[in-house]
Amino acid sequence: MKKTFLWSLLVGLGFFTYSHAQNTIEGFNNPIQPQPKTIKEVIKDASSLDKKDTLVQITGFFVEQINHEDYWFSDSKDRIHVSLDDDIQFPSFNKNQKVTIVGEVDYDFMNGTEIEIEQIITKPTIN
């Protein structure tokens, strides 16, 4: 009788633990989703975005290389200084390929606004 009771208790506890873990996973809401923005919006809100370490998402083109890590990025209306961390492996793409960048805004009153890129999402090229 004790073995049956202990076995039932362990099985019941296992189901409770499993269902609780499932509820926790399903209820998880990632608070760090990148916010799609235009370059104009990023520059306008740069100070606030920098203070909150907000990730932003912008679609456009790399238009000019400044040095091995720094580029100008354009959404066809405005441009912004972006920085690629050479410790991160980014996908290959060409300068005429539209990409989406995800990064953290870095604002400095003297040096302006920069995006430190954490991810580049490439779009398929159409020939």
Please state, in angstroms and rounded to a whole number, the distance separating the CA atoms of residues 98 and 2. 68
**pTM, two decimal places:** 0.70
Q: Which helix (H) or strand (E) holds 32?
A: none
Q: Tell me the pLDDT tens digit for each residue of 75-123.
A: 999 999 999 988 888 988 888 899 999 999 999 988 899 999 999 999 7
Q: What b/e sequence results for 72-83 when a residue is b if at least 16 CB atoms lie within 10 Å of its CB, and e otherwise? A: ebbbeeebbebb
The correct answer on CATH 2.40.50.200 for the domain covering 35-122 is: yes
pLDDT of residue 78: 97
User: pLDDT, tens digit, for every residue of 30-59?
Assistant: 556 787 899 999 999 998 888 888 899 999
- List the domain boundaries for the chain: 1-30, 35-122
